[in-house]
Chain A
Amino acid sequence: MSAQPAAPTPRGLLATLSQSMPMPLLGTLRCEPEEMLALVGPSGAGKTSLLRCLAGLMRPTEGRIEVGTSVWCDTAQSLFVPPQQRQVGLVFQHYALMPHLSAEDNVALALLHLPRPERLRQARHWLEHVHLKPEQQRRRPAELSGGQQQRVAVARALARQPQLLLLDEPFSAVDQLSRLKLYQLLGELRRELRIPIVLVTHDLSEARRLCDQMVVMDQGQMLQQGSPAALHRSPRNARVADLVGIQNRFEATFETDEGEAPDPQGSRWATLVWRSRRGSGAEALRLRVRDKGKIRSGTPVSWVVAGEGLELMPAQAGPNTLACRVLEILPLGEISLCQLEPVALPGEVLQVYVTAVQRAALEAAQAGGSDVPLQLLPGALHVMPTRLG
């Protein structure tokens, strides 16, 4: 090995895994320091197994895990650093606190490398850090609330001064109040620690609200990584679109506009022939969509449109403006969810979130039996292959 100068920029986590037994696990994920990454997917998608590989509790068949400047696992070189020697903090789903030890002793257990008085001093420091009061610090886990137990578990993970912090379903078992406190704590931690933080969750809205990056997993595969906004805007395939909870997903045929010159901005445009899945197939709507040159004309595709790409009652009618019938308006507090059916394509339903003002206009239209215009902004339509993979 050649002597390397100290890396100028801190590096985060880079993990590439591939195995089929005992459970499939495939893909690559990257998480920069100070970044928070959410692993999302249905239960059994392999989220926890992935976390266990990162912590060193499971040895992948093939793979490489790099954190900062150290390599924790490289099966090509038969390298596997056991969990004891990885500077990793793992917060278990049900906390896994030692029931026979007080909160402070639980944290001190992660500091056995220090002399005894120093252990307890640091344990108290970390418990204060997660806002646990001194009298709570002396209690056993059974005498603490779920939220308090979780904070002890976080303190124990932090006491090792980890290079990587992992949290398994941190929000699943805590009540709303503890949840808000936890949001705040995680926000503080990521600023101070400047290490990659990976959390497992099945709550998409939570992942979207808290995390910079999301990895969508299904059946052990890491299907796609990106910012929550990017995943919503342009999911790689129909399965990802479903898993990130995109409601407006439809089938169409992609047709390139042969011979048409690019517009002044240099974009080429194509047409989506959107046919009703339920109707006779005769009705069709033609939508303008950006042509990135990746899909051949005549290919059946899935397409999605995120909320930002839908403009209800636009000031002036542009391309892709559809006359829609108001099917249902569902009040959800400050906003309402409205179901719109294109008049030209009965059976297809677009879901749109609307404000109170828009809701009043929609209710008036519904009562009067009139249609409302809805524009699908051409740049916001995302086209992807229909088949999985």
Chain B
Amino acid sequence: MDWTALILSLELAAATLLVLLPVGLVLGRWLANTRFAGKAWIEALVVLPLVLPPTVLGYYLLVSLGGASPVGQWLQAQFGLSLTFNFAGLLVASVVFNIPFMVQPVQRAFEAIPRSLGEAAAVSGLGFWQTLWRVELPLAWPGILSAMVLTFVHTLGEFGVVLMVGGSIPGETRTIAIAIYDEVQGFNLAAADQMSLFLLVVSLLAVAFSFLASARTTQRR
């Protein structure tokens, strides 16, 4: 078992979740509650990472953020920051790649809340934050939870984008999925076996947990 790779993967998944959760809540809630002419385009853009091959996404990220690109050069000059072949770059790629996994379930969850509940809250004297905290978030919680679990597990298992943007630098960009690939390439099947099984069990448990939790919340209604 490559513990360094596993810890790196867990760190990346946690960081991705931390960055993406507020983004997902704001974007998902906004998409659920508004209607405008270009909405379908925004929604398509949100889903795009889901349908693109990870290598394509990784390629564009590499090209647009790399040292040769204007953005990359500007980041390097202003902040001394490089976003390729390091953890920060991995995080950016992971966040972009996971947008649909976070935003879509959150959007569906907010869409499922009847409009009249928000209105009832308003005539009951609740302001925006009170309604969000006491009505919307509790009702959207199963959706938010499953979005979080999906994002976390999906980041653990990410391969293509990571390889394109990060390469395979131990302790910096060599995540568990890359480590498995490397072990297989090196004919070390026992190690690959162990890590694959671990990833399988963790993923299964996480997804099952999210289903169980959301079933319980629905049952209570």
Contacts and interface: CB of A to CB of B under 8 A. Distances in A.
Interface stretch (A88-96, A180-188, A347-355): A88-96
Given A96-B116, A99-B221, A140-B220, A83 B122 contact: yes
Contacts of A160: 123-125
B116 A142 contact: no
Interface string A341-384: 00000000000000000000000000000000000000000000
Contact of A57 (B122, B124, B125, B139): B122
Interface stretch (B92-100, B130-138, B202-210): B130-138
A337 interface: no
Interface stretch (A109-117, A207-215, A221-229, A300-308): A109-117
A31 interface: no
A318 interface: no
A92 B119 CA distance: 9
Contacts, number: 62
A140 B121 CA distance: 17
B22 interface: no
A57 B217 CA distance: 30
A84 interface: yes
Interface string A17-51: 00000000000000000000000000000000000
Q: Report which residue of B120, B126, B134, B217 has the largest number of chain A beta carbons within 10 angstroms of its beta carbon.
A: B120
B125 A82 contact: no
B130 A57 contact: no
A154 interface: no
Contact of B126 (A57, A84, A89, A96): A84
A278 interface: no
B113 to A, nearest CB: 10
Contacts of A140: 220-221
B117 interface: yes
Given A98-B135, A140-B221, A109 B121 contact: yes
B174 to A, nearest CB: 44
Interface string B161-173: 0000000000000
A156 B124 contact: yes
A84 B120 contact: no
Nearest to A168: B116
Nearest to B118: A96
Given A92-B116, A96-B116, A100-B138, A84 B220 contact: no
Contacts of A94: 116
A90 B120 contact: yes
B53 interface: no
Nearest to A99: B221
Interface in A237-270: none
Contact of A100 (B116, B126, B221): B221
B33 to A, nearest CB: 15
B126 to A, nearest CB: 7
A124 B135 CA distance: 20
A109 B126 contact: yes
Given A99-B139, A160-B125, A112 B120 contact: no
A110 B125 contact: yes
B125 A113 contact: yes
A83 B123 CA distance: 5
B55 to A, nearest CB: 43
Contacts of B122: 56-57, 82-84
B14 to A, nearest CB: 28
B114 interface: yes
B127 interface: yes
A199 interface: no
Nearest to A58: B119
A272 interface: no
A365 B125 CA distance: 65
B126 A112 contact: yes
A31 to B, nearest CB: 18
B125 A92 contact: no
A198 interface: no
Contacts of A83: 119, 122-123
A340 interface: no
Interface in A130-167: 140, 142, 156-157, 160
A142 B125 contact: no
A140 B217 CA distance: 13
Nearest to A141: B221
A55 interface: yes
Contacts of B139: 98-100
19 contacts: A55-B123, A56-B122, A83-B119, A83-B123, A84-B125, A86-B123, A96-B117, A98-B117, A98-B121, A98-B139, A100-B217, A100-B221, A109-B124, A109-B126, A109-B135, A112-B125, A112-B126, A142-B221, A160-B124
Given A98-B117, A100-B220, A160-B124, 10 more contacts: A84-B125, A84-B126, A84-B127, A88-B123, A90-B123, A97-B120, A109-B121, A109-B126, A142-B221, A156-B120
Interface of B: 114, 116-117, 119-127, 130, 134-135, 138-139, 217, 220-221
7 A-B pairs closest in CB distance: A110-B124, A96-B120, A96-B116, A83-B122, A99-B221, A90-B123, A83-B123
